[in-house]
Amino acid sequence: MEKISPDLPSKPLSRVGVIGAGAIGGFLGVQLAHAGVDVRVIARGQTLAAIRKHGWRLDIGGRRLVARVLAIDSEADCGFEQDEPWTPDVVVVAVKSHSLPTLAPVLARLAGPDTVIVPAINGLPWWFNAGKSAPAAPLASTDPHGELGNAVPPARIIGAVVYPSCSCPEPGITRHGAGSRLVFGNVMPDADEQRLSQWVDLLRRCGLDAHMTDAIRAEVWNKLLGNACFNPVSMLTGSATDVMIDDPAVRALFTQMMSEMLALGHAQGIAPAVSPADRIAITRRLGHVKTSMLQDAEAGRPVELAAILGAAMELAERTGVEMPCCRTVHALAALRARTLSTQTNAEAIHGDLR
């Protein structure tokens, strides 16, 4: 497998491109730009217009940060270049998982010898099986036709696990709710670590709580333990995390689901050093948090069920791990997602006929 050029790490990081100006894109991009990093963002629609008119805004710690960045229309199909050549050192991919396959051609152009890709996404990432001793087929839930896996060499990917809870109350504005920890690690074990350490150092200098790990898949699984439970159940119940956890029956469901997820992780050679009780306690300390899936459902947007729980069900099928509670929740959540999609489409058609 290809390694990042040994000459690459000697070049300091100065340019960061962000694909997606939603909650996490805004959390990272605004803070980097506000600290003086040369940041460009690819956005669309009302968000693009708002950033161009008012700047990219982040409400965090009782203050509003405003970053003036070059915002590029996603429809322009020109990468991050506008009037002059501009090659990013790092590309942060911060879009919803169901949008990722459409980005494969863009990422293929950007993943050159001078650029690394940092997917800051929910659920099981498309690169999860890369580099395993036994070749594994792409996860159909996250990379249906293997386009992402073919577009970006795994050696050019820095895996990311993003714990902050953020939302977008209106286009061009991100609101930080809780949490700050960011964890990054090379996807390939033989990838050069200097670029990774440069990236983490840059984030720290900009005031972010960034960390490095040599076990990025275990970190992904640690977050997935919570997301696979809290997200779909929140969509089914319409409840925030504290309300769900404080309900004894729902808490017991979470404990069983996480036990099944831990068993699936062990089948993948992953053993996160956390128990269901500890993982639930971590989320409870964050307080009243609306999951991203609940926010999307309430706003009539597609939900990330395939990446957050569907991919785990796919792995369970491949490895023969029994997951009755997770499978039941997934079936209910999938039906709920289809129902919401049908309702949204019907409302849109009704609105057009008025």
Does residue 70 share a domain with residue 21? yes
Residue 7 has pLDDT above 90, yes or no: no
Q: Are residues 72 and 168 in the same domain?
A: yes
* 223 carries an active-site annotation: yes
The stretch 190-216 carries a mean pLDDT of 94
Long-range contacts at 239-245 (CB < 8 A, ≥ 24 apart): 239/294, 240/288, 240/289, 240/290, 240/291, 240/294, 241/283, 241/284, 241/286, 241/288, 241/289, 241/290, 241/291, 242/284, 242/287, 242/288, 242/289, 243/288, 245/280, 245/283, 245/284
222-301-100-265 Cα dihedral, nearest 10 degrees: 20
Q: Which of 167, 190, 214 is the last residue of a domain?
A: 214
Domains contained in the chain, number: 2
pLDDT at 353 over 60: no
Residue 124 lies in a domain: yes
- Domain membership of residue 323 (yes or no) is yes
DSSP state of 3: P
Do 33 and 158 fall into the same domain?
A: yes
> pTM of the full predicted structure?
0.90
3 part of a folded domain: no
Report yes or no on 10 lying in a domain: no
- In percent, how much of the chain has pLDDT > 70? 91
Give domain status of residue 4, yes or no.
Answer: no
More confident: 74 or 142:
142
- What whole-number distance in Å separates Cα of residue 209 and Cα of residue 196? 15
Q: Both 79 and 225 in a single domain?
A: no
Residues 312 and 199 in one domain: no
* pLDDT winner (highest mean) among 75-84, 207-216, 345-354: 207-216
Q: Let me know if residue 9 belongs to a domain.
A: no
Give yes or no: residues 207 and 229 share one domain.
Answer: no
Task: Please state, for a pLDDT cut of 90, what percent of the chain lies above it.
Answer: 74
285: left (phi over 0), alpha (psi -120 to 50) or beta: alpha
What is the band of 37 on the pLDDT scale with cuts at 50, 70, 90?
very high
Mean pLDDT, the chain, as a whole number?
A: 90
- Last residue in a domain, options 157, 184, 214: 214
Q: Which of these three, 194, 214, 234, is where a domain ends? A: 214
Within a domain: residue 6? no
Identify the CATH number of the domain in which residue 67 sits. Answer: 3.40.50.720
Residue 49 located in a structural domain: yes
Active site residue: 3, 96, 223, 290, which one? 223
Domain that holds residue 340: 219-349
Predicted pLDDT at 3? 34
The dihedrals phi and psi of 63, each to the nearest 5 degrees, come to: -140, 165
Please check whether residues 210 and 228 belong to one and the same domain: no
Label residue 77 by pLDDT band (50, 70, 90). low
Distance of CA 127 to the CA centre of its chain: 13
Regarding whether 208 and 224 lie in a shared domain, the answer is no
Regarding whether 276 and 131 lie in a shared domain, the answer is no
State whether 74 and 191 are in the same domain: yes
pLDDT the model gives residue 345? 57
Tell me the pLDDT tens digit for each residue of 106-160. 898 887 787 999 999 999 999 998 876 555 678 899 999 899 999 999 999 999 9
Mean pLDDT of the 277-300 span: 93
pLDDT grade for 85, boundaries at 50, 70 and 90 = confident
For residues 237 and 307, state if they share a domain: yes
Indicate which CATH number applies to the domain containing 288.
Answer: 1.10.1040.10
Say whether both 66 and 196 belong to one domain: yes
Report CA-CA distances (Å) from 25 to 66, 256, 264.
14, 33, 30
The pLDDT assigned to 112 comes to 72
Q: Among 32-41, 61-70, 81-90, 230-239, name the one with the lowest average pLDDT.
A: 81-90
Which pLDDT belongs to residue 321?
Answer: 96
